[in-house]
Amino acid sequence: MDIIPQIIVSGIAAGGVYGLIALGFVLIYKATSILNLATGEFMTLGAFVCFTVMTAAGAPFPVSLLATIGFAALLGVVLERVILRPLIGEPIISVIMVTIGLASILRGLTYMIWSPEYRAFPPIFPPEPLDLGFAIVPSGLLWGFAFAAVCTAIFTCIFRYTRTGLAMRATASNQQAALSMGISVKSVFALSWSFAAITAAMGGIIIGNISGISIHLGTIGLKVLSVIILGGLDSIIGAIVGGFIIGILENLAGVFLDPYLGGGTKEVVPFIVLVVIIMIRPYGIFGKPIIERV
């Protein structure tokens, strides 16, 4: 069996999850121009909540999924109201640092509540791998991809075709105009944060399901930064395409560069891509170029 198709297929599968997480970044950035560096912690928290509902309460997966969504939505709204709203209009460093501080708080709380040891997720997907003929997709990746694809589709549809989505897009394109049209920008902000928290929690569940959960699950959140920079910070399509590209690239690097560079290239390649993109095309593949007017 040839190795290249296999790598690309696993890359695409992983890329689907990245795309989903990146969607969370993009939703928040579009609505509020904030880059949420606490996304990784949202993921961890979501995965742990789902895990706890499943194991401690013995609930079936759909129920715990709903519980997680409810929790994440609430978390997003509360955080937006308490922490982010006082900082609207503050300089960029304050806003970035506040999400970093938030990440630290959430990480500490997760640690306190669930203790740092590594746990395996209860199986929620059928374990049989899918044989495509030219490549085999492990079950976790396959179902994770399907799950991520469904979530992404749902969110994209909400954004595109509903009234709420219209309000969100209006806010993203011009806050003043949206306000004068009677759109409640505050509730759009809150909604974006809860949507982002939900996508992050979904991503956390998928990743937790593939590789087990621990408090370090969220480190992937920072890797996804390369996805959104590659795709363009304000583009949903970009998030999805960027996810696939990064997924494939890091898998290729893992196979072809590891022997020469002594392992671990999978972790660093996204960041190298990120730097290259920032140097040559900072607004990404699909993003809007930033034009500064004096």
Distance CA 275, CA 252 (A): 18
In whole angstroms, the minimum distance from the beta carbon of 249 to another protein comes to: 14
Q: Is residue 155 within 8 Å of 27, Cβ to Cβ? A: yes
Ordered DSSP codes for 209-275: HHH-B-GGGGGHHHHHHHHHHHH-TT-HHHHHHHHHHHHHHHHHHHHHTHHHHTS-HHHHHHHHHHH
By the 8 A CB rule, do 182 and 84 touch? no
CA-wise closest residue to 147 among 130, 167, 163, 124: 124
Quote the least distance from Cβ 2 to another protein, whole Å.
Answer: 29
Phi, then psi, of 259 in degrees rounded to 5: -60, -30
Whether the Cβ atoms of residue 247 and residue 13 lie closer than 8 Å to each other:
yes
Nearest CB to another protein, comparing residues 104 and 184? 104
Least distance in angstroms from the C-beta of 101 to another protein: 3
Whose Cβ is closer to another protein: residue 97's or residue 252's?
97
- Inter-residue contact 221 to 28 (CB < 8 Å): no
How many angstroms separate the Cα of 17 from the Cα of each of 76, 166, 175? 20, 25, 30
Shorter beta-carbon distance to another protein: residue 150 or 272:
272
Nearer to another protein, 55 or 104 (CB): 104
Residue 106 C-beta: closest distance to another protein, Å: 8
Question: Is 114 or 159 the residue whose CB approaches another protein more closely?
Answer: 114
Cα separation, 31 vs 159, in Å, equals: 11
Binding stretches for another protein (CB under 8 A): 35, 83, 86-87, 90, 92-94, 96-98, 100-112, 115, 222, 225-226, 229, 233, 261-264, 267-268, 271-272, 274-275, 278-279, 282, 292, 294
Question: Residue 51 and residue 204: Cα distance in Å, rounded?
Answer: 10
Which of 12/233 has CB closer to another protein?
Answer: 233
Token reading at 154: 């749902």
Nearer to another protein, 111 or 161 (CB): 111
Residue 235 CB, shortest distance to another protein, in Å, is 15
Minimum CB separation from another protein for residue 107, in Å?
A: 6
For residue 98, the minimal CB distance to another protein (Å) is 5
Output 15 or 232, the one with its CB closest to another protein.
232
Give the C-alpha separation, 224 to 242, whole Å. 9
From the CB of 130, what's the least distance to another protein, in Å?
33
Those residues with Cβ within 8 angstroms of residue 34's Cβ, 6 or more apart along the chain or in another chain: 28, 84, 95, 99
